[in-house]
Structure 1
Amino acid sequence: MSAPNPAKSAPERITLEGNYVRLEPIERRHAADLFAVATMPGGPERYRWLFSDAPQSLAALQAWIDTVIAGPDSYVAIIDKRSGRAVGQQAWMRIFPEHASIEIGGVYWGLPMARTPLATEALFLFARHAFDDLGYRRFEWKCNSRNDPSKAAATRFGFHYEGLFRQDRITKGESRDTAWFSIIDSEWPALRAEYQRWLSPDNFDADGMQKSRLMTR
């Protein structure tokens, strides 16, 4: 049995283009849009399970962007192609090209993305780039075990639950048990086909509502 191959490289700071969203390397120019989304009614609550808190000012968000650009993780801004505005963010984390393993994390999908294909396509673009372009074998999703919406999203997207890391972190003054999920390369071709089917414009009516749901199981 031959040894598995490493991935080609870590993801570079490039733009990934979809039908509904465009993923751009995060920069200060995205701060105003992201601050507007983070501070709209209901926006701050979406920071409940993130390691960072909701930004209290545009300057604070700009400083946070400076910090993550200089850090080990690779954040992108999620651009709604209809409006041209940044409506969320996500990041490549735990990047191990030598093991062909990578994580999507730091996910903040703002309220304008709710009940639209934007979040699903943002996830799909990351997965497709990791598996098809860079040759990763493993694509991870992790969350606080108490974050039921995140666990439900992971299952909907086709990730497999792998287990619980008890007392894994201390975040925001609380002990965090971390739930681990993954997709591996042998599972990706079938998932890719289903994502492409679901994201087709033919699957949405004139009001943007799905005609059929994503079937990853």
Structure 2
Amino acid sequence: MSDLNHWQSAKLPDTRTLQGRFVRLEKLSAARHGDGLWEALEGPTADPRLWDYLFVGPFPERNTFDDYLAGLEGSVDPWFYTVVDQQTGNIDGFLALMSIVPSAGRIEIGHVTFGASMQRTPKATEAVYLLARESFALGNRRLEWKCNADNARSKRAAERFGFTFEGTFRQHAVSKGQNRNTAWYSIIDSEWPYVERAFDAWLGVDNFDNGQQVRKLEDLRSQPLTE
């Protein structure tokens, strides 16, 4: 967006549930979502690598996990959403909108904590899409994604979702006693129509055959944007 003559500050996220085809995003509630999140993130089928690149976790004790969730629920920035499966009602993880700067129209998707049940599935893609769509609907000009530069899974996800790599911030943070270099990615508002169109097409019913994708998200994004 080069012309700011008519642009106004972005709005803040609110408690509305964001509805998708595969999942819905509900404002995180420790009371309503705690049991499901514990099962998805720390249960017997949980991803053993889940907490490797996150600033917190793992949580061997439930009371410590519950205290953590209570803090997430009370947070304004980051603003946390729980991922709920539309068909089963099962809880699959959480993620957040964060680094919220309405005056600049800048916001970030972060704290992506997905259980094994939704990793590499349409549910994971749709959860990110719903927050991206909400970010631009709130009037933001820039959507960010940041991750540990050693986290190959998160970097690959950012690229697949349509974020542009902007560089690496060296010695940006310390996580669990280790240096963290941070990889930065973004989508800006002029790019969003292409990215959104590809998300919509990829998530469509006709793009799946017996649960397998017909066309890749990256391929759909390369098509020209038409009216």
TM-score tier (shorter): over 0.9
| Number of equivalent positions | 215
In 1: Cα distance, 2:6 partner to 2:147 partner: 28
Do the aligned residues in 2 keep the contact of 1:38 with 1:55 (CA within 8 Å)? Answer: no
Do the aligned residues in 2 keep the contact of 1:7 with 1:97 (CA within 8 Å)? Answer: yes
In 2: Cα distance, 1:69 partner to 1:164 partner: 30
Residues 146 and 4 of structure 1, relative CA distance in 2, 3 Å threshold: farther
In 2: Cα distance, 1:4 partner to 1:151 partner: 34
What SS class does the counterpart of residue 213 from structure 2 fall into?
coil
Residues 178 and 209 of structure 1, relative CA distance in 2, 3 Å threshold: same
Query: Normalized against structure 1, the TM-score is what?
Result: 0.94
Other-structure match for 1:64 = 68
Shift of residue 43, structure 1, vs aligned partner? 2.1
| Structure 2 alignment gaps of length 5 or more | 223-227
Shift of residue 42, structure 1, vs aligned partner? 4.7
> Which has the larger displacement, 107-116 or 6-15?
6-15
Do the aligned residues in 2 keep the contact of 1:32 with 1:58 (CA within 8 Å)? Answer: no
In 2: Cα distance, 1:44 partner to 1:34 partner: 15
2:117 maps to which of 112, 129, 134: 112
In 2: Cα distance, 1:2 partner to 1:85 partner: 43
| Structure 1 alignment gaps of length 5 or more | none
Q: Does 2:7 match 1:5?
A: yes
Other-structure match for 1:148 = 152
1:52 maps to which of 36, 50, 56: 56
In 2: Cα distance, 1:146 partner to 1:3 partner: 40
Q: How does 1:1-217 map to 2 (within 5 A)?
A: 2-3=4-5, 5-28=7-30, 29-39=32-42, 40-71=44-75, 72-131=77-136, 133-206=137-210, 208-215=211-218, 216-217=221-222
What SS class does the counterpart of residue 34 from structure 1 fall into?
helix
What SS class does the counterpart of residue 147 from structure 2 fall into?
strand
In 2: Cα distance, 1:182 partner to 1:26 partner: 25
In 1: Cα distance, 2:168 partner to 2:119 partner: 28
> Which has the larger displacement, 133-142 or 5-14?
5-14
In 2: Cα distance, 1:156 partner to 1:7 partner: 29
CA RMSD of aligned residues (A): 1.4
- Amino acid of the residue matched to residue 94 of structure 1? S
